[in-house]
């Protein structure tokens, strides 16, 4: 242990203590501290003065003692001399020791100063080392944060920066005397830049993710479309096995319940996986930075830009890649919208319903605009049907994601209008070609298969069962055999079954549009009825009526037969349309205007037949060459009469054979009535002034021939009524007593059918002949 330092204020006390010790060791122990103190405090002179004063006091004491006690004094002087000598020696020794101590003290002071300086340096080094360690910890935390940024562990980096601030920077900055204050201040000022770097890095990763998402949108839409198609297929299978399920469409609650077992995540499957981690991380980082609102705004702006990049400037609907072009457009929109909806569900605070719906509406209206422009070049109904199929798949897919499909449904309505117009135009051309190229002859059938096909497609009910029509049993001496009755002919011409086929195709293709998805079935029903009515009225009925101007009776008859069958077909179509119409259509019967058109134009055709038949009768009657003043009696009927009856017989058994019985009877009735009137007009011609009995006999023979012909016809009694006036007129011409005509009782009984104006004229010609004959005999 180092000796305790002693400091003296007055060296007299020190001298007393130096002198008092009994031994040299004690003496030195007391002397040395006093010397050190005197040397250190530069008060050596004081110590010397104290020692000298002490010596003088002792000398004075000695002198006093010597004066009183001489011997003792001398003895004391002697002792004192010895002491003095010792003192001088001691003083010399003290001076030497003092010098030695002084040298040692200087060396010690230098060493002390060096020690103090060394301790200060060591303290500075320790402080610097500690500050360096603290700075290294801070820099390590900074480097760790930046290393986490490089490793894309952005939230960890942000947390590291936050810990750096709270644990190191803020306490250091608050302590102004801290050695790291300046470094902490510099690093603290760099924190916002680091946070910005993290924000930019995470946004860069998010933009990369968004780019990949945009590139994946079309494939995502394709996967979603495929999933919807599979759901369609499963629902159709269920509807086939359970008719009740036909009341429920795709995306209905019932369909979804049935389809629960078929789990499929369109965002995570074998074909595609969409990882939302970059989005979550970016949102988390911005929330930690207090920039949530800024991020929402930037994200919304980015998605709007991506939406613009997603939509093309045009779409092609007429080339072979129609499906791919339109599908690519709608698949891209579907994928984009699915990502939006999935984002909203996973991060409710990032995307609002308003933002998502706004983007959806914008994409829908753009797509509708693009398709509408491209539709101007589409002139094929099948292409439109494909377009509708793609759009319907798109609608059903997005309806399942909760998007509004009203605008798309309304667009399908416009698409249907164009589809109906194209169908109408195409079938109008088909009907026109069928009507114009028909041979207007009864349709020949060569075998049973052909017969079955025609009967199945036509609204035609054969008079005989199929079995009876097919074979006739012939007995022979050997064995009975069955002989087929083909070839045969059907009453209508080939145009009728061809038109029936087209009508059925027209119906089917109209209802094809309602397959899968169409929210306006009542529009299909009303449009179909209107279009079908127009086609049948304008393209079939009117075209047939235009051909009634033909001079060929067989063609007119065939047109009448066809009109009859078309009228039946229209009646059947009315029932078919009632059965096929949707439940949303208005109830009640369906009446096609074409039905009445065919019915009324049958009358037109009948009139045309009357015209042709009567025209032919006129031509034949005009060939009559009666010699009303014939000198001899004719023994045979006139040639025109034989030709006329033969003509009537031929058309009845051939040309008019296919007509309904009531029409044939009506035509025959009218023809005979017209023939009778034309024959009756012969003797009433203004050029006939006189008629002799031979002329009357010739006319009577022809009328009898005609009457005999009519008597052999079916319904002869009715038909012969047309000849009553002619017969009674001939009878009046043959009467021997013309006055009977002027007797009302006899006239009503014998000549009641004779025209009151024609009777007198006939009698006048006969009277003129009688006067001429009388005068001739008198001369």
Q: Which two tokens stand for residue 449?
A: 């298969």
Give the separation between CA 39 and CA 31, rounded to whole angstroms. 12
Residue 513 in domain: yes
Unique residue bearing structure tokens 């919807």: 228
Residue 311 in domain: yes
Q: Mark whether 389 and 442 lie in a shared domain.
A: no
Q: Mark whether 436 and 368 lie in a shared domain.
A: no
Name 268's bridge partners: 273
Q: Which two tokens stand for residue 307?
A: 């939406």
Residue 413 in domain: no
For residue 668, the tally of other CB atoms under 10 A from its CB is 22
Residue 179 in domain: no
Residue 193 in domain: no
- Helix axis angle for 553-580 and 593-622, nearest 10°, is 170
Most distant CA pair in the chain: distance in Å? 259
Which residues make Cβ contacts (< 8 Å) with residue 709, sequence separation at least 6? 645, 648, 649
Residue 638 has pLDDT above 80, yes or no: yes
Q: Mark whether 663 and 743 lie in a shared domain.
A: yes
Q: Mark whether 434 and 393 lie in a shared domain.
A: no
Give the separation between CA 210 and CA 203, rounded to whole angstroms. 10
Q: Which two tokens stand for residue 666?
A: 């009506």
CB 493 within 8 A of CB 437: no
In this predicted model, what pLDDT tens digit does every residue of 694-737 receive, in sequence order?
A: 888 888 898 899 899 888 888 888 888 888 888 888 887 777 77
Q: Identify which of 318, 394, 384 has the alpha carbon closest to the alpha carbon of residue 363.
A: 394
Domain that includes residue 598, residue range? 424-602
Q: Which helix (H) or strand (E) holds 51?
A: helix 44-68
471 pLDDT band (50/70/90 cuts)? very low
Mean pLDDT in residue range 347-365 = 88
Which residues make Cβ contacts (< 8 Å) with residue 642, sequence separation at least 6? 705
Give the separation between CA 663 and CA 210, rounded to whole angstroms. 80
Most confident of 165-169, 246-250, 307-311, 322-326: 307-311
Which pLDDT score, from 0 to 100, does residue 8 have?
53
State the total domains in the chain. 4
Most confident of 174-188, 280-294, 362-376: 362-376
Q: Which two tokens stand for residue 495?
A: 């145009």
772 pLDDT band (50/70/90 cuts)? very low
Unique residue bearing structure tokens 């009445």: 596
Residue 682 in domain: yes
Residue 497 has pLDDT above 90, yes or no: yes
Q: Mark whether 526 and 634 lie in a shared domain.
A: no
CB 154 within 8 A of CB 148: yes
CB 754 within 8 A of CB 729: yes
For residue 393, the tally of other CB atoms under 10 A from its CB is 23
Q: Supply the Cα-derived Rg of the chain in whole angstroms.
A: 68
Q: Identify which of 747, 740, 742, 758 has the alpha carbon closest to the alpha carbon of residue 677.
A: 758
First to last CA, the chain: 211
In this predicted model, what pLDDT tens digit does every residue of 3-29 receive, in sequence order?
A: 444 555 566 677 767 776 666 666 666
Q: Identify which of 578, 566, 637 has the alpha carbon closest to the alpha carbon of residue 602.
A: 566
Q: Mark whether 245 and 373 lie in a shared domain.
A: yes
Q: What is the DSSP string of 315-351?
A: ---SSTTHHHHHHHHHHHHHHHHHHHHHHHHH-TTTS
Q: Identify which of 640, 667, 662, 637 has the alpha carbon closest to the alpha carbon of residue 652.
A: 667
Q: How many CA within 13 A on the CB side of residue 464?
A: 10
Q: Mark whether 597 and 631 lie in a shared domain.
A: no
397 pLDDT band (50/70/90 cuts)? confident
Q: What is the dihedral of CA 672, 677, 678, 683, to 10 degrees?
A: 140
- Helix axis angle for 553-580 and 521-534, nearest 10°, is 170
Q: Mark whether 104 and 45 lie in a shared domain.
A: yes
Mean pLDDT of the chain: 78
In this predicted model, what pLDDT tens digit does every residue of 278-315 receive, in sequence order?
A: 888 888 777 777 778 888 888 888 888 888 888 888 88
Mean pLDDT in residue range 153-178 = 63
Q: Mark whether 389 and 435 lie in a shared domain.
A: no
Give the separation between CA 756 and CA 532, rounded to whole angstroms. 54
117 pLDDT band (50/70/90 cuts)? confident
Provide the 8-state DSSP code for 4.
P
In this predicted model, what pLDDT tens digit does every residue of 193-230 receive, in sequence order?
A: 776 777 777 777 778 888 888 888 888 888 888 888 88
Which pLDDT score, from 0 to 100, does residue 498 have?
93
Name 443's bridge partners: 490
Q: Mark whether 469 and 591 lie in a shared domain.
A: yes
Query: In Å, how far are 373, 505, 607, 651, 665 from 659, measured between CA atoms?
Result: 53, 29, 14, 11, 10
776 pLDDT band (50/70/90 cuts)? very low
Domain boundary among 373, 404, 435: 404
CB 30 within 8 A of CB 17: yes
Q: Which helix (H) or strand (E) holds 224?
A: helix 181-241
Residue 493 in domain: yes
Q: Which two tokens stand for residue 669?
A: 């009735």
Give the separation between CA 481 and CA 473, rounded to whole angstroms. 6
Q: Mark whether 690 and 750 lie in a shared domain.
A: yes
Lowest mean pLDDT among 148-152, 217-221, 386-390: 148-152
Lowest mean pLDDT among 316-325, 363-372, 444-453, 584-593: 316-325
Mean pLDDT in residue range 326-351 = 87
Percentage of residues in the chain having pLDDT higher than 90 = 6
Q: What is the DSSP string of 579-602?
A: HHS-TTS--S----HHHHHHHHHH
Provide the 8-state DSSP code for 252.
S
Residue 610 in domain: no
778 pLDDT band (50/70/90 cuts)? very low
Which residues make Cβ contacts (< 8 Å) with residue 408, sequence separation at least 6? 364, 368, 391, 394, 395, 398
Q: Mark whether 227 and 349 lie in a shared domain.
A: yes
In this predicted model, what pLDDT tens digit does every residue of 51-66 receive, in sequence order?
A: 788 788 878 877 776 6
> Is the pTM above the cut of 0.85?
no
Domain boundary among 404, 435, 468: 404
For residue 571, the tally of other CB atoms under 10 A from its CB is 16
Helix (H, G, I), strand (E, B) or coil at 461: coil
């Amino acid at each position: 242990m180092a000796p305790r330092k002693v400091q003296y204020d007055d060296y007299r006390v020190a001298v007393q203590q130096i002198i008092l010790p009994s031994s040299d060791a004690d003496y030195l122990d007391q002397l040395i501290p006093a010397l050190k103190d005197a040397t250190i405090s530069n008060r050596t002179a004081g110590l010397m003065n104290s020692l000298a004063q002490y010596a003088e006091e002792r000398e004075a004491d000695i002198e006093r003692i010597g004066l009183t006690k001489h011997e003792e004094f001398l003895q004391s002087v002697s002792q004192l001399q010895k002491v003095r000598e010792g003192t001088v020696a001691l003083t010399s020794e003290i001076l030497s020791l003092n010098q030695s101590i002084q040298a040692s003290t200087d060396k010690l002071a230098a060493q002390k100063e060096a020690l103090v300086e060394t301790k200060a340096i060591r303290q500075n080094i320790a402080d610097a080392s500690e500050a360096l360690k603290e700075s290294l910890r801070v820099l390590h935390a900074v480097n760790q944060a930046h290393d986490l940024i490089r490793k894309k562990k952005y939230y960890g980096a942000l947390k590291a920066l936050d810990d750096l601030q709270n644990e190191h920077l803020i306490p250091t900055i608050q302590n102004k005397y801290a050695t790291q204050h300046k470094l902490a201040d510099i690093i603290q000022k760099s924190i916002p830049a680091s946070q910005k770097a993290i924000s930019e890095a995470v946004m860069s990763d998010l933009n990369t993710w968004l780019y990949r998402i945009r590139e994946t949108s079309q494939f995502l839409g394709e996967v979603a479309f495929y999933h919807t198609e599979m759901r369609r297929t499963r629902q159709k299978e269920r509807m086939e096995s359970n008719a009740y399920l036909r009341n429920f469409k795709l995306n209905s609650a019932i369909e979804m319940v049935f389809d629960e077992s078929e789990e499929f995540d369109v965002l995570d499957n074998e074909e595609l996986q969409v990882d939302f981690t970059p989005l979550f991380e970016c949102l988390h980082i911005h929330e930690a930075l207090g920039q949530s609102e800024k991020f929402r705004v930037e994200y919304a702006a980015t998605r709007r830009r991506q939406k613009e990049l997603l939509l093309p400037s045009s779409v092609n609907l007429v080339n072979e890649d129609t499906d791919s072009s339109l599908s690519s457009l709608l698949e891209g929109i579907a994928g984009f919208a699915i990502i939006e909806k999935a984002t909203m569900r996973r991060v409710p605070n990032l995307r609002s319903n308003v933002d998502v719906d706004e983007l959806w509406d914008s994409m829908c209206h753009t797509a509708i605009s693009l398709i509408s422009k491209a539709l101007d070049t589409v002139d094929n109904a099948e292409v439109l049907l494909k377009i509708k199929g793609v759009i319907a798949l798109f609608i059903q897919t997005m309806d399942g994601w909760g998007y509004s499909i009203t605008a798309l449904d309304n667009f399908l309505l416009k698409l249907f209008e164009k589809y109906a117009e194209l169908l109408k135009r195409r079938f109008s051309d088909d009907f026109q070609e069928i009507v114009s190229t028909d041979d207007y002859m009864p349709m020949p059938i060569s075998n049973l298969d052909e017969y079955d096909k025609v009967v199945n497609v036509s609204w035609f009910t054969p008079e005989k069962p199929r079995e009876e029509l097919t074979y006739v049993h012939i007995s022979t001496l050997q064995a009975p055999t069955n002989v087929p009755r083909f070839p045969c002919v059907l009453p209508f011409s080939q145009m009728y079954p061809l038109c029936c086929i087209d009508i059925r195709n027209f119906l089917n293709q109209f209802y094809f549009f309602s397959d899968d998805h169409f929210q306006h079935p009542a529009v299909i029903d009303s449009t179909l009825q209107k279009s079908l009515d127009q086609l049948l009225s304008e393209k079939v009925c009117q075209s047939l009526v235009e051909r009634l101007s033909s001079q060929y009776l067989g063609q007119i008859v065939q047109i009448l037969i066809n009109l009859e069958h078309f009228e039946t077909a229209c009646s059947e179509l009315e029932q078919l349309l009632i059965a096929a119409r949707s439940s949303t259509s208005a109830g009640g019967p369906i009446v096609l205007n074409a039905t009445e058109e065919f019915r009324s134009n049958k009358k037109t055709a009948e009139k045309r037949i009357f015209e042709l038949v009567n025209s032919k009768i006129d031509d034949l009657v005009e060939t009559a060459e009666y010699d009303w003043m014939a000198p001899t009696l004719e023994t045979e009927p006139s040639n025109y009469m034989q030709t006329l009856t033969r003509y009537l017989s031929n058309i009845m058994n051939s040309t008019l054979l296919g007509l309904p019985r009531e029409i044939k009877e009506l035509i025959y009735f009218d023809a005979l009535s017209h023939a009778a009137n034309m024959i009756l007009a012969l003797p009433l011609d203004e050029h006939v002034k006189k008629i002799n009995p031979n002329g009357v006999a010739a006319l009577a023979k022809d009328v009898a021939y005609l009457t005999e012909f009519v008597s052999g016809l079916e319904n002869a009694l009715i038909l012969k009524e047309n000849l009553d006036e002619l017969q009674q007129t001939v009878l009046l011409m043959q009467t021997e007593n013309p006055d009977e005509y002027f007797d009302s009782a006899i006239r009503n009984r014998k000549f009641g059918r004779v025209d009151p104006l024609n009777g007198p004229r006939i009698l006048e010609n006969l009277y003129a002949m009688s006067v001429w004959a009388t005068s001739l005999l008198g001369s």
